[in-house]
Structure 1
Amino acid sequence: MLVQLAFTALTNGYAAGFAKGSIYKGPGKFICLPGLNCYSCPGALGSCPIGSLQAVIGSRSYRFSFYIAGFLLLFGALFGRLVCGWLCPFGLVQDLLYKIPFVKKLRRLPGDRWLKYLKYVILAGFVIVLPLTVLDIVGQGQPWFCKYICPSGTLFAGIPLIASNPPLRAALGWLFTWKAAILAALLLLSLLVYRPFCRYLCPLGAIYGLFNPAALYRFRIDKEKCTGCGACQKACKLDIPIHQTPNSPECIRCGDCRRACPHGAICTANRRAARPFGKTRT
């Protein structure tokens, strides 16, 4: 969590933006950051890859960006969803909320088996198809995911800008109410179930998750050491059977399974499995 806090502070460190209620527009905004880091956040020093992708897809002049595609391919090929577990600001918010004691914590929501595919529907529909096909009078598409769904943008950009700009509050309409309702629902769900947005809605997580089986940083199971005890799945807040699917697209690489394995059977690719805690080599 310290890594998450440090990265969030570093990439959203434009303090003057929060003080003045303005958006940083310097050269850093031409650089994508690996997590959901809203362009319109007053403190953001870079751009969100999903927002940037929609801007290109919906443009009259461009339909493809080698930079954005290369950026997603690079981070996906190197880390997979490790980005989600360690570098995403909205992931940090969900982690902190889940730590708050609640009457009952759920391992998963009802319908989890099908709900986890919703993020791929959002990626295809709201990030790609709608910006490409639903155009305004001048032939420009809209950033549908950012505009109608993204809770990270509402939390880190919409609310701070409205709080510091009274004229903006007078212009609020149904769209802000809709997005605030999505944000509120996800924040409440984060008290009950671990990372609901990452599990079911995040299109960036959907992209990175496709790389998990082939990423440079991936898990493998030492079959000689693994006994199938299920300790890894019990420790996993996403309820993934790591001993069976160590590179599931849902895995955010938090490392809880590796720490929980009593036999040291989980390791990263190209590295030997760790020895069980407390045991020495003989």
Structure 2
Amino acid sequence: MKKFFGKIKRWFVNHKPSKRRIIQLYAALLYNANIKGFFNGQIYKGPVKNVCVPGLNCYSCPGAAASCPLGALQNALYASNTSMLAYIFGTIVLFGLLLGRTICGFLCPIGLGQELLYKIKTPKLRKSRATYVLSYLKYIILIVLVVVLPLMYAVPGFCEYICPAGTLEGGVISLFNEETRGRLGMLGPLFTWKFTLLVLFIVAGIFVFRFFCRFFCPLGAFYGFFCRIALLGVKLDKNKCTDCGLCISACKMDIKKVGDHECIHCGACISVCPAKAISWKGSKLFVRGNETQAPTAGEELKPLTAMLKPVQPAKEEPALPVEVKTDVAAPQEEVRDE
């Protein structure tokens, strides 16, 4: 066991993961903090499960400590629970207003998994007219499977027929537990269909960066509506931009405009911009002073003392010399006439 953890430690030391990658890992661990659920197959149903996490994470995963916003929204719609619907929808809107698709770039475990798949060395497929058209498929999924089917037919369409988080975290993991293995057999063709989709997403994710996010994720589609008004995200200063095109070349989502609704705000464009025209909006809330650009990938954090400007001591004016008069006549004695 010590050798195993030693290898993990050496890997982290040698590869030096970026700050964004560390945040992604922490988010994935936090979403699935019910560790004992992976061993006993029991789904956690405590009070924390009433809280929605911002990213995509299956409620039915044995390790899930909180709820998936999409799953909770579909449940509220088909249950016609007005108060629950207001709470869930309000929570998702709040996430969108605060973070927008920064959630996709930093706080989604499914996004993290796809980025790791894309690191496998193979020929890669970049954006084409076909991928541009297919990118609107996720909006159809959002309307039809997330809203219409639950509302009109009481069927959580996305969770039941597509969601890879449920298949991977709630299904595949349960195969390793004897108590839950029998339940999966009862699903029959449905589990076969979802498992086939999962394999498709995994294979496609090796060749296309964030394949599921681009074409199938309704949560990313919803957060995309808030890209321009979200508190946090990337922004472009057009006065500083030199149109060098380095940001477009660095973008793995293949977008042509900084802050586009397809942008996941990973910060790659900030790292390569030579004119410093791209920065983080909302950073003034977290950083005092004139420096408003958040640290980018590979950049070391500066200590607080390095950010503070030294106070220059006030210059003391030289004292004026005191003029001493030496030509003052000595007092004369008064002479009286006798």
* TM-score normalised by structure 2 residue count: 0.75
Q: Please, which of 108, 111, 115 is the counterpart of residue 91 of structure 1?
A: 111
Name the residue aligned to 1:137: none
How far apart in 2 are the matches of 1:25 and 1:273? Answer: 42
How far is the alpha carbon of 1:37 from its aligned partner?
1.1
Q: How many residues are matched?
A: 266
The match for 1:125 is 144
Q: CA deviation at 1:223?
A: 2.1
Deviations 1:242-279 (A, max 9, x none): xxx222110111000100112111012366775xx9xx
Counterpart for residue 12 of structure 1:
32
SS in 1 for 2:125: coil
Q: Which has the larger radius of gyration?
A: 2
Measure, in 1, the Cα distance between the counterparts of 2:36 and 2:203.
30
Q: Could you tell me how far apart the structure 2 residues matched to 1:145 and 1:131 are? A: 9
Counterpart of 1:248 in structure 2 is: 260
Deviations 1:8-57 (A, max 9, x none): 11220111100011111111110001011110011000000000000010
Alignment partner of 1:144 is 2:157: yes
Kept in 2: contact 1:22–1:161 (CA 8 A): no
* Distance in 1 of aligned mates of 2:181 and 2:96: 40
Which of 184, 206, 210 aligns to 1:195? It is 210
Distance 1:192 1:109 in 2: 14
Tell whether the 8 Å contact from 2:101 to 2:264 is kept in structure 1 after alignment.
Answer: yes
- Contact 2:209–2:252 under 8 Å retained in 1: yes
What whole-Å deviation, never above 9, does each CA across 1:55-82 have from its counterpart, x for those lacking one?
0100155486221111111110011100
Query: Which residue identity lines up with residue 167 of structure 2 in the other structure?
Result: T
Structure 1 counterpart of 2:185: 170
Q: Helix, strand or coil: the match of 1:211? A: coil
Q: CA–CA distance in 2 between the matches of 1:169 and 1:32?
A: 26
Please tell me the root mean square deviation across aligned C-alpha atoms, in Å: 1.9
> What's the CA shift string for 1:149-202, capped at 9, x where partnerless?
101110111111233123224324111111011111011111101001111110
Paired with 1:61 and 1:151, the residues of 2 have a C-alpha distance of 26
Task: For structure 2, list consecutive stretches of 5 or more residues without a partner in the other structure.
Answer: 1-20, 285-290, 294-298, 300-338
Unmatched 5+ residue regions in structure 1?
A: 135-140, 278-282
SS of 2:52's equivalent in the other structure is: coil
Q: Distance in 2 between matches of 1:60 and 1:86?
A: 32
Q: Which residue of 2 aligns with 1:219?
A: 234
Of stretches 46-55 and 214-223 in structure 1, the one that deviates more from structure 2 is: 214-223
Which of 137, 153, 161 is equivalent to 2:166?
Answer: 153
Take 2:142 and 2:242, find their aligned partners in 1: how far apart are those partners? 38
**Greater alpha carbon shift after TM alignment, 107-116 vs 188-197:** 107-116
SS in 1 for 2:120: coil
Structure 1 range deviating more: 198-207 or 106-115? 106-115
Mapped contact 1:29–1:47 kept (Cα < 8 A): yes
Which one-letter code corresponds to 2:245 in the other structure? G
**1:82 aligned to 2:102?**
yes
1:67 is aligned, of 87, 99, 120, to: 87
Residue 275 of structure 2 aligns with which residue? 263
Show the counterpart of 2:127.
108
Which amino acid in structure 2 is aligned with residue 257 of structure 1? Answer: C
Report if aligned partners of 1:57, 1:63 keep a CA contact under 8 Å in 2.
no
SS at match of 1:100: coil
Contact 2:102 2:233 in 1 (8 A): no
**Higher RCO (C-alpha 8 Å, min separation 6):** 1
- The change in CA–CA distance for 1:184 and 1:59 in structure 2 (over 3 A counts) is same
Give the equivalent residue in structure 2 for 1:35: 55
Say if 2:64 is the partner of 1:44: yes
SS of the residue aligned with 1:65? helix
